[in-house]
């Protein structure tokens, strides 16, 4: 059952201590915590799990108030975005935070660039759409990735030859322990493949509240990614609106429709392999696709490895390996976390046995 608790007693206590008027407090602290909150709408796998406590906020100050009065380091806390990259392994015993900070505003402009600040709770594709409508280049290749802007900056989402970090200038975040704001320049974010300082050294320590992007007023479409290049006639140079349409069309043809089949996009990361190991594998599998990362490192599509294990399209109960993109695990309806974990384990074991490669989940288990 859903129950609500306004933080009035807490704020009253605080203001009594400070001898301030409760009327001010009521205006200032308009935050609400919900108990036994169903997370079905907040995880794209469509798992029917519950959060012990849930706090949704739409301004920085609501978040700060929450951290000031309700933060308890001994309680588990999880900040979710669209819940598109999470696997809840069961009910969440702790507090789930969710941002609805939604604004898109121009911060400054030069002859070549426009600097746009976007609230962490904005749906990333809404930002992509608006950027393309204004003919500002940089995020069109990331169209339709299911994510909110804050999560996109933490996860460094990427697709079709572009990554979020390519356009990020800085990330504004609030430190959980102190409630203080800190701005991270893009270098400080330590971006890597689906990674950032917010997932490594500073994991769980900051909440992203906004991201500043640099977009190009004279867009140069990037169609280097093979699937995108093949979409257009050989000598045709598309504009960014056409690139966005192409990306949407390719994604829709390969990836399951979230409204129909629960999933979290790529379940695994594409593994890196040293060149000697890759050459050894290549002698056995001469069609193995790969991307050179450095002289000694090669990236191999996990989709290929999973397909070669004969798992493409495999279904066990309510879960399965998507038949058009085996990197995606789908919920056919009513799946439990246990079923998804069991299938993911089976995929990992098969790939390890056949290729001696350990697939690492891109999805975060919580």
- What residues are annotated to the active site? 194, 266, 362
Of 147, 265, 146, nearest to 211 by C-alpha is 147
How far is residue 330 from each of residues 81, 142, 269, measured CA to CA in Å? 20, 22, 16
Report d(CA 331, CA 343) in Å as an integer: 11
**Considering the rule CB under 6 A, would residue 304 count as an interface residue with ligand EPU?**
yes
**Considering the rule CB under 6 A, would residue 303 count as an interface residue with ligand EPU?**
yes
Binding string to ligand EPU for residues 254 to 293, with x set by CB under 6 A, is what? x----------xx--xx------------------x----
132 vs 302, beta carbon nearer ligand EPU: 302
- Closest residue to ligand EPU, judged by C-beta, is 265
- Phi-psi region for residue 19, left (φ > 0), alpha (ψ -120 to 50) or beta? left
SS3 150: helix
Pairing of strands 92-99, 77-80: parallel
Residues 209-228 that bind ligand EPU (CB under 6 A): 227
**Considering the rule CB under 6 A, would residue 192 count as an interface residue with ligand EPU?**
no
219 vs 361, beta carbon nearer ligand EPU: 361
**Considering the rule CB under 6 A, would residue 307 count as an interface residue with ligand EPU?**
yes
187 vs 287, beta carbon nearer ligand EPU: 287
Report d(CA 239, CA 327) in Å as an integer: 30
11 vs 129, beta carbon nearer ligand EPU: 129
Residues 186, 88: contact at Cβ < 8 Å?
no
Residues 95, 75: contact at Cβ < 8 Å?
yes
Residues in the interface with ligand EPU (CB under 6 A) total 18
Residues that bind ligand EPU (CB under 6 A): 159-160, 227, 254, 265-266, 269-270, 289, 301, 303-304, 307, 312, 325-327, 362
């Amino acid at each position: 059952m859903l129950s609500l608790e306004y933080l009035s007693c807490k704020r009253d206590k605080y203001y009594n201590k400070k001898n301030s008027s409760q009327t001010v407090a009521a205006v200032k602290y308009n935050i609400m915590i919900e108990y036994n909150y169903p997370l079905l709408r907040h995880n794209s796998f469509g798992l029917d799990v519950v959060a012990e406590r849930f706090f949704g906020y739409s301004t920085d100050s609501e978040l700060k108030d929450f951290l000031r009065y309700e933060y308890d380091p001994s309680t588990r806390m999880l900040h979710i975005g669209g819940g598109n990259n999470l696997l809840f392994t069961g009910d969440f015993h702790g507090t789930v935070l969710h941002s609805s900070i939604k604004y898109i505003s121009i911060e400054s402009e030069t002859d070549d660039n426009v600097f746009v600040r976007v609230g962490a709770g904005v749906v990333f594709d809404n930002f992509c759409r608006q950027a393309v409508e204004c003919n500002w280049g940089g995020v069109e290749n990331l169209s339709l990735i299911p994510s909110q802007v804050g999560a996109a900056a933490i996860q460094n989402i990427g697709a079709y030859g572009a990554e979020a970090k390519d356009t990020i200038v800085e990330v504004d975040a609030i430190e959980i322990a102190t409630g203080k704001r800190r701005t991270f320049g893009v270098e400080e974010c330590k971006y890597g493949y689906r990674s950032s300082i917010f997932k490594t050294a500073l994991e769980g320590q900051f909440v992203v509240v906004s991201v500043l992007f640099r977009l190009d007023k004279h867009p140069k479409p990037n169609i280097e990614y093979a699937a995108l290049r093949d979409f257009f006639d050989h000598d045709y140079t598309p504009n960014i609106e056409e690139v966005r349409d192409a990306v949407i069309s390719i994604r829709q043809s390969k990836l399951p429709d979230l409204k129909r089949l629960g999933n979290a996009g790529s379940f695994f990361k594409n593994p890196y392999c040293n060149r000697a190991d890759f050459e050894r594998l290549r002698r056995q599998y001469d069609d193995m696709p790969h991307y050179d990362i450095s002289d000694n490192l090669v990236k191999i599509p996990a989709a290929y490895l999973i397909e070669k294990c004969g798992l493409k399209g495999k279904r066990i109960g309510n879960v399965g390996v998507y038949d058009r993109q085996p990197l995606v695990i789908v919920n056919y309806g009513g799946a439990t976390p246990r079923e998804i974990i069991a299938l993911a384990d089976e995929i990992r074991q098969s790939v390890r046995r056949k290729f001696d490669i350990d697939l690492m989940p891109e999805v975060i288990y919580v």
